[in-house]
Structure 1
Amino acid sequence: MANIVIIGPGAVGLSVGAALIDAGHQVVFAARQAFAQLKVANAGEMAPRRRVSVVTVPEALTPADWVLLCVKAHQVEGAKAWLDATVGPHTRVAILQNGVEHRERVTPVVPAGTVLVPVVVDIPAGRSAPGVAEWRGRAGVLTADTPEGQDFCALFTGSFVTARPTPDYVSENWKKLCVNAPGGAILALTGQTMQVFHQPGIAAIARAILSECVAVGRAEGADLPDDLIDTQMARFMAATPDDTNSMYDDRAAGRETEWDARNAVIARKGRLHGIPTPVSDLIVPLLAAQKVGVPG
């Protein structure tokens, strides 16, 4: 049994936390708002009863075996007090976030030498209330095939989360960005659900973002197949019209979106490799301008 702290009890944090409890570990949720119940289940199923431990002040925590950082990429700095309290000399930190810059974002806010385990998360989920989340159809996580990645995946044995190490983590990470970058930007900028992809010109913009992501990802060492763009565009066009994504949901709720981790990264890394990214260069300032409290 491992001693695990979950920082960020959103949809993903609650889902993986519930899975780790099911696997027999001692799990503590670090949260600003306490919740007395943990209700997490697959869509349409009854949530089992789980005992929950929630701590609302960093001073009440001590170093853990594992810390799972489940805040969004732009919230890492705000989690520093929690990390200071829970990361000790032998703590390993798993980073469950969107984007491809897990290490770059977290290294400055943890002690030198801390073992970091970037994680690709595939858990379509939503949180409806503190401690209450629903995942839809699949729940998976991927890590690099390293000793620490294998140890992280082993934590989920016996739970509803499928965890596996992959020999090509870089490619898997960029494949997910190829989903997130076009879909999130289009829905956040238009304020519409996936039906907007059928409006004139929208699919062409999404394809252009996707093409830039593939070009930059390949320059970063990702092995991205030639049919990835057509395959992903077909998925976008076949999506249920009322489907949304987290960028849409955050924008609708007046929260800051992950525009930097999902879209600015393409332009940023494109410049490093001398790859033009004109569409990303255009949409990033528009996404950045959608600050919390600014009418959209």
Structure 2
Amino acid sequence: MTATSLVHTRAELASVLDLAQGEIAVVMTMGALHEGHRQLIREARKRSEFVLVTIFVNPLQFGPSEDFEKYPRTLEADMAACAAEGVSVVFAPGRDDVYPGGAPAITMHPGPLGEILEGASRPGHFSGMLTVVEKLLMLTRADVAYFGEKDFQQLALIRRMVADLELGVEIVGVPTVREPDGLALSSRNRYLSPDQRRAALALSRALREGAAQTDPEAVLAAAHKILAEEPDVRVDYLSLTGTDLGPAPDEGEARLLVAAKVGTTRLIDNVPLRLQKGA
């Protein structure tokens, strides 16, 4: 297995990309890699010989009261994980490499889809996210990019941006990876105390109970009931939508999404389900 290269600058990245053969597959991360990230890499490796992982904690997508400064930065461990998964190159740029002119004057506007759910709770988040994703897609010369379905609204917005701007990159969604007890993997899980982690299981439990129903009203009622039984979970939203995050159909494929705070840690999760009104 070829050793995984680490590059930090645009010039170093361009040099290794000039030598790349075949399709370039990209997995974008903010580091603190866990099994969910590794699954993205494995999916990319199934198809592409050249897999590039980006590690960049993007300041544009953090609000003033969010955890940018304390977000975990574990480059040595991340490199070991990437090497174990056969990653070709890790691009870990500094802020000046991504934003050489300082904070950009022009950023991506997410439109109406970016104003609901996470967008309503985290103003500016999706603009910052889309801006860095577009920049990294161009810098990495990506042919295909892999994103997790845990951040389902993010995935939907990236797909829409790539289609609307005709960027010519294939976007692949990968199902959420969970702990054996059902908790969706997240870099923020490490902030939870043991008691908070137990409380956080109410999110995945509520989604499972909701997804076991087929009538739209029953879906939400079942999920709300589980969440209401856990006082340490402060729900931001629980929403049943279509697969495009529009209104949920009476029948057909849909998505159930939840966001909540447990202690000071904000968690999100979602599941696919199939609706059949009156069933």
TM-score above 0.5, yes or no: no
TM-score (ref. length: structure 2): 0.38
